[in-house]
Structure 1
Amino acid sequence: MMSKSLSIKTIVAIGIGSAVYVILGRFLTIPTGIPNTNIETAIAFLAFIAVLFGPIAGGLIGLTGHALKDALMWGSVWWSWVFVSLFIGFFIGLFVSKIKVEEGQFGKKEILTFNLIQVIVQIIGWGILAPVLDILIYAEPVNKVFTQGLVASLSNIISVGVLSTILLVSYAKTQSRGSSLTKEN
């Protein structure tokens, strides 16, 4: 049953996260000069939310946010890249589950762990999966899609490395590192 696996908080996060993904993907991208390949703040937001809410929320926000963005911007959905957004959100959320940012833990070790994971996940996603799926689904030219994949990998690694790290460090500072309340006798 879905209610046992997803809390109301996670379901709300998926809805709001998908809407924010669409807005960021529509209005806060920086063109790279490579066709249909931008520096995406939406991916940085996706990584941040995946750390906070886990792999299911991360994956579903990547899926719905990217699909809605494509449909609204282009009138159709580029499913190979939508799948990669799902992959990115899911696997960043899965592999960083030991980081306890909600407990105020996001120091040098966690920053290094988070960024190592996001680099690996994005290289696999944008550098391998997206081009291969573009070739298999859309019969796109090999050179074109691997160039796009390389640029998308590098630009999203930088975007997540900078923006998500800043968001996670800032968020961790707002969280309690333990109970500051003591019982008086």
Structure 2
Amino acid sequence: MNEKYPTWLTNHVKEWAKKRLTTVTLCSATGNELLEVWYYGDLLTINGEPQLYIVPSYFAPELVTARDPESGEEFVVFDGGRHGYDNMFCDEHDLDELERRTLKRYEIPASKLILELGYSIDYEDEKEIFDVDKDGMVELINGERMSWEQVKRDGIDYIALYYVNEEGKQVQILDNELA
């Protein structure tokens, strides 16, 4: 697979490119790329920038979803309590807290959403430390099992979310270095 992106985004990627980082344009299952952003977490101003960044709350990691205003479909863009290398192999979270996260709408109109994804871990070089079993499965820190191929796709160590504003400029609203 040349177009490498996390499995939780299957059916929600309209464009894929390998630039400095893997970059994808999101869409609903019907192909609509004008999406609303919904989130759990806090909003933070950084260095006087006009936009607010989505960050974890004191109680639980951030959760970001996209909602198609036409169809009502909603899908997870990033779950700071479940997605990425650290959540797969290092960090444990209170499952009750993860389930209690309620979403609020990020106050922008439905917009084109672009993700940057970082894959800096060389999984093939480090395969022996992951204890891949004879069936090609790996046990995650939470006890779940995942195929080795899925680990390589879902084990991102960086994610950033941008929306495209009315002037066509990309505005960053999430920056999460996971490793």
TM-score by length of 2: 0.26
- Looking at CA atoms only, which structure, 1 or 2, has the larger radius of gyration? 1
More strand by share: 2
TM-score by length of 1: 0.25
More helix by share: 1
